[in-house]
């Protein structure tokens, strides 16, 4: 990648420029993201990760070196047992303990947190996101943050003042900027009773009555509350950029206080940031009940959208705009938008005015790719058509490719990935009108009237006589001739044909559909009348 690319107006590039401008020249820039794995990581959380990834790419495209870190806040407290989990009674005994100690009741991972972490970590490379993971439980339990915690204790009064500025009720005088997991029972139901001015913190546990003084350099149990933890880590890792959800970006919100703490306590200017909006879900009602607490994860999205198209939705939308990920008919449109963007990319205009529009689309296309930008276009095929083909060939992609005939070798993998998504969509989300399956060749004939029998017979004859020698348009006249010769309305004729073929009154546009099914199969299906 080169430094001399034209100025881009894509938001990722604008933010990259901003980072360089505000943080000055650096050997490398640190971009951070992170969430708590205290539940299934959902697609809304993914927006943060992908947003950082896009900015990271923009920085790298400018020739900068970037460290992309992803912090798992797995030393968070287990506050509530999720409704949709088994073994509720067992899980209840872990309340107030760090989530990294809660067992994985759904699988065989080390812990509840680890299970959630693993699910996402395995999937992120699929969409081209490869951060360096930081596990906060491990860092805290290893006392890596001992100095940061000590610094917070030393600036206890400053921090209290900063937090009080945006609180309705002031923190008490005996407040300490730390929280402690009891050494005996692992719960955070503790009260800090003193600090020796150095590394010693005393506490009593309200659950088990334990009372002791621990050394920050040795204890696994002391951590910082969120609003202090965040700026401490900015300083610890030297974070230059980290976006956050709208819940953080408000006066008095956590980014606001963290900014102050970062500067005054840790001597680190807050990172460049932006606010990203929420993601909503469309077209999944009925399938997944929201009342069960089930959330839509990246894995769910990837069932229906290819990695490129998934990236495309995020790269093509400004972060502070709310948008919906659809599972209904909008899926067709999203794929069409992506294909249009791709065609644009491969058809660079030669006049300046068109070039300006082209550059924006081209940038979105580049950022949508999982790895490097392909040298050739994908096989352009609408999901609508692809799903018809798949249904005729019972989901067998190889036969679809064989039928299409003109798929180039370097397009096969991408087409297969798209077909897998299309097939999932047809099976799980497509409206009933959209789905069909061809009747088996040995199925018993449907019940038809005398004139309908004649119609099907005559259609078979037309197919036998003309299908091979006509193009679709020409052949269509022969099909209409059937209705005309028997003096039945086409509105009555079509449903019979569909019933004989797929057992429904409606189906894909008939002429094209007949060609896809092919002469041999048609004659077998219609031959029994």
65 and 27 in contact (C-beta within 8 Å)?
A: yes
Quote the least distance from Cβ 179 to RNA, whole Å.
6
In the complex with RNA, the residue whose CB is nearer, 130 or 312, is: 312
Token pair for residue 445?
């004939």
> Which part of the chain contacts RNA (CB under 7 A), choosing from 63-71, 223-231, 298-306, 520-528?
223-231
Residue 330: partners with Cβ closer than 8 Å, 6 or more residues away: 282, 283, 324
Quote the least distance from Cβ 27 to RNA, whole Å.
26
Among 80, 167, 191, 524, binds RNA (CB under 7 A): 167
Q: How far apart are CA 334 and CA 313, in angstroms?
A: 8
Residues present in the chain in total: 529
Quote the least distance from Cβ 309 to RNA, whole Å.
15
Q: How far apart are CA 70 and CA 440, in angstroms?
A: 52
Q: How far apart are CA 228 and CA 243, in angstroms?
A: 17
Quote the least distance from Cβ 211 to RNA, whole Å.
22
> Which part of the chain contacts RNA (CB under 7 A), choosing from 75-83, 90-98, 99-107, 299-307?
75-83
Phi, psi for residue 222 in degrees, rounded to 5: -95, 130
Quote the least distance from Cβ 172 to RNA, whole Å.
11
224 and 232 in contact (C-beta within 8 Å)?
A: yes
Q: Is 282 in the site for RNA (CB under 7 A)?
A: no
Token pair for residue 154?
């030393």
Q: Is 117 in the site for RNA (CB under 7 A)?
A: no
Among 30, 33, 36, 378, binds RNA (CB under 7 A): 36
Among 118, 161, 184, 249, binds RNA (CB under 7 A): 249
Quote the least distance from Cβ 108 to RNA, whole Å.
26
Closest among 377, 388, 386 to 340, alpha carbons compared: 377
Among 28, 65, 80, 318, binds RNA (CB under 7 A): 318
In the complex with RNA, the residue whose CB is nearer, 410 or 472, is: 472
Q: How far apart are CA 338 and CA 293, in angstroms?
A: 32
> Which part of the chain contacts RNA (CB under 7 A), choosing from 50-58, 73-81, 82-90, 111-119?
73-81
Q: How far apart are CA 349 and CA 26, in angstroms?
A: 37
Residue 411 DSSP label: G
Q: Is 470 in the site for RNA (CB under 7 A)?
A: no
- Coil, strand, or helix at residue 106? coil
Among 53, 186, 229, 342, binds RNA (CB under 7 A): 229
Q: How far apart are CA 274 and CA 263, in angstroms?
A: 18
Question: Contact positions toward RNA, by CB under 7 A?
Answer: 7, 9-11, 14, 36, 73, 76-77, 79, 166-169, 179, 225-227, 229, 246-254, 275, 318, 320-321, 329-330, 332-333, 384, 388, 391, 431, 433-436, 473, 476-477, 480-481, 483-484, 490, 494-495, 498, 505-511, 513
């Amino acid at each position: 990648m080169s430094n001399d690319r034209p100025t881009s107006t894509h938001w990722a590039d604008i933010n990259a420029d901003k980072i360089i401008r505000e943080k000055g020249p650096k050997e490398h820039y640190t971009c951070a993201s992170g969430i708590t794995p205290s539940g299934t990581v959902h697609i809304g959380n993914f927006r943060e990760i992908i947003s950082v990834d896009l900015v990271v790419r923009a920085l790298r495209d400018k020739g900068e070196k970037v460290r992309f870190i992803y912090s798992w806040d797995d030393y968070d407290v287990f506050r509530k047992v999720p409704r949709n989990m088994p073994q509720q009674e067992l899980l209840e005994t872990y309340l107030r303990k760090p989530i990294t100690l809660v067992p994985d009741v759904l699988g065989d991972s080390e812990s509840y947190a680890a299970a959630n972490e693993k699910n996402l970590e395995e999937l992120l490379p699929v969409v081209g996101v490869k951060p360096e993971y930081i596990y906060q439980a491990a860092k805290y339990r290893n006392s890596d943050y001992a100095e940061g915690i000590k610094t917070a204790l030393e600036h206890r009064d400053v921090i209290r003042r900063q937090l009080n500025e945006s609180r309705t009720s002031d923190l008490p005088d005996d407040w300490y900027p730390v929280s402690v997991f009891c050494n005996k029972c692992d719960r955070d139901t503790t009260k800090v009773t003193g600090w020796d001015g150095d590394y010693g913190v005393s506490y009593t546990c309200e659950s088990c009555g334990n009372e002791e003084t621990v050394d920050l350099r040795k204890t696994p149990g002391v951590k910082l509350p969120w609003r202090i933890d965040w700026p401490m880590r900015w300083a610890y890792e030297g974070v230059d950029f980290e976006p956050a959800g709208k819940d953080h970006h408000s006066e008095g919100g956590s980014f606001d206080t963290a900014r102050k703490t970062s500067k005054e306590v840790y001597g680190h200017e807050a990172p460049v940031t932006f606010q990203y909006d929420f993601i909503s879900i469309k077209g999944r009602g009925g399938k997944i009940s929201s009342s069960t607490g089930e959330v839509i994860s990246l894995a769910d999205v990837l069932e229906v959208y290819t990695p490129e198209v998934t990236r495309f939705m995020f790269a093509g939308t400004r972060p502070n705009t709310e948008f919906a990920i659809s599972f209904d008919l909008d899926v067709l449109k999203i794929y069409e938008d992506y294909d249009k963007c791709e065609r644009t990319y491969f058809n660079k205009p030669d006049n300046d005015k068109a070039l300006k529009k082209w550059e924006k689309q081209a940038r979105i296309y580049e950022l949508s790719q999982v790895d490097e930008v392909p040298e050739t276009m994908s096989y352009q095929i609408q999901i609508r058509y692809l799903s018809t083909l798949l249904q005729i060939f019972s989901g067998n992609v190889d036969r679809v490719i064989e039928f299409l005939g003109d798929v180039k070798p370097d397009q096969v993998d991408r087409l297969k990935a798209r077909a897998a998504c299309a097939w999932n969509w047809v099976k799980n989300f497509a409206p009933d009108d959209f789905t069909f399956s061809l009747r088996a060749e040995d199925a018993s004939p449907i019940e038809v009237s005398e004139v309908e029998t004649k119609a099907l017979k005559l259609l078979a004859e037309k197919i036998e006589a003309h299908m091979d020698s006509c193009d679709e348009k020409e052949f269509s006249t022969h099909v209409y001739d059937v209705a005309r010769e028997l003096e039945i309305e086409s509105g009555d004729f079509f449903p019979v044909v569909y019933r004989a073929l797929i057992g429904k009154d409606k189906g894909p546009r008939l002429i094209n559909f007949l060609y896809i099914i092919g002469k041999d199969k048609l004659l077998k299906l219609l031959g029994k009348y």
